[in-house]
Each structure stands twice: as structure tokens, then as C-alpha cells.
Amino acid sequence: MGKLISAHTVLGNSYKTLPIPEKWVGIIGLPESNFRMIIYGESGGGKTTFGMELGVMLTGLGKVYYNSSEQGEGKSIQDAFKRAKVQDCPKGSFMLADRHTFREMMDTLSKKRSAPFVIIDSLNYLKLTEAQYKEMIEAFPKKAFIIISWSEPSGKKPLGTQGQAIEYMVDIKVRVNDGEVIALSRFGATEPYRLFPSKKAKKVHTGKQLELVPDEQQ
């Protein structure tokens, strides 16, 4: 139920933010503990890797539930875990949900001492709707939700009406393109972050040696 609060009360309140490393403050700002985020980009651009790296960082603060509705358990997710250094997490802190449906996910999150950090990969494969998103955050208002989405061909927006509607309801919007992470956050200024060298870089001959030069510099 909604309530009426004085603006001065809000100004005088203290709100819990996450004690995240300085590196991450520069990438996503200093979020509240129940932040909402969408990560989107083209296939192979690094969105899953970034989501996993974020999850690895968050295991230092609490358990992470990772719903791999798209890949599920297998060699590809194992390789992704290795790239993101999930092996460095405390044992039992990063939990893989092997293709949980929306209802299975809701049931798991409703259990006592369930993970405070939830990553869904992906919105499109799970077919998460705007109504389900609202149901989820209203049922678990203290949890943080990170949703990975496919993007439009331009890479500039999440794919589909559901993804774009959810984009408007989150606190942090993250576009990942060719290894570059660019976030727009309600929790402070951010700076671009590079996950891996550009795949679009080409070899050019300088007269002495071959060097990799990004497309935009040629």
C-alpha cells in the first residue's frame, strides 16, 4: 500500500547503499541494496560476461541466484563461469538455476535465506513480461534484480516491447557492445568500462610491426 511522506522526512532519512569496491562505483554508481538493473547488447558483445562479473563481486556481500534460462547447465556456462572467475567466489555463494521457469524462480526466491541478488539470463528466453517483472519486485522488495536482455539490431535498445518497458522501470541501464560497458545510473556518475579488447580491431602495418587498431581509429 502506498503512503504519504514529508519531503523533509525523505531528506533526513538514511538509505542503505552497498559497500561495493571503488572500481564498481565508477561503473554503476553507488546503488541501494535492492537496486534494479537491465543489461542488454548484441550476441557475443559481453553482456553475460559482465553480468557474471557483477555477480562475482556481489558474492562478497551475499548469495547470488543466477537463473540461466537460456544456456542452462553445461560446457558453455562452465566456460562463461571460468571467464568471469566464478571459481574465486566463496563456495555456495553463486548458485546456478538450471533453466528455472518464472514460477520455479519465484518459489525458490520465496524460501528462507534465499539469495538477495538475482540475475536472470535472459529476459527474452524466459519470456519475462512487464506484469511478471512488477509481480517479482513487489513480492521481493528487498532483493536486487539484474536482468540480461537481447538488444535490437542497432544494439541501442533492449529487444521487444517487454524489454523496453522494463528498461524504464529499472535504476541502472547497461549497454554492452563489443566488450565496452556503458551504464546510465540513478546512483551517480559512471564511466565506460572495457571487459575485453575490441573484436572489431584490425591488423594494420605500421612499417615496423603489425598493430591492432580499432575500426573507429582507421
Q: What are the tens digits of pLDDT across the range 136-182? A: 999 999 999 999 999 999 999 999 999 999 999 999 999 999 999 99
Q: Residue 10 domain-assigned?
A: no
> pLDDT of the chain along its 218 residues, tens only?
789 999 999 999 988 899 999 999 999 999 999 999 999 999 999 999 999 999 999 999 999 999 999 999 999 999 999 999 999 999 999 999 999 999 999 999 999 999 999 999 999 999 999 999 999 999 999 999 999 999 999 999 999 999 999 999 999 999 999 999 999 999 999 999 999 999 886 655 555 555 555 554 43
Q: Which residues contact 23 (CB under 8 A, 6 or more apart)?
A: none
Number of domains the chain is built from? 1
Residue 30, SS3 per DSSP: coil
Nearest to 84 by CA among 114, 54, 113: 54
Number of H helices, E strands in the chain: 8, 10
How far is 20 from 117, CA to CA, in rounded Å?
13
Q: Residue 4 domain-assigned?
A: no
Report the CATH number at residue 75: 3.40.50.300
Structural domain boundaries, residue 134: 19-217
How far is 114 from 71, CA to CA, in rounded Å?
22
Contact criterion met (CB below 8 Å) for 83 and 44? no
Q: Residue 3 domain-assigned?
A: no
Q: What is the DSSP string of 152-203?
A: -TTSSSBSHHHHHHHHTT-SEEEEEETTEEEEEETTS----EESS--TT-EE
Q: What is the pTM of this model?
A: 0.90
68: preceding bond cis by omega (within 30 degrees): no
Q: Residue 40 domain-assigned?
A: yes
Q: Residue 27 domain-assigned?
A: yes
Q: Residue 12 domain-assigned?
A: no
Q: Residue 181 domain-assigned?
A: yes
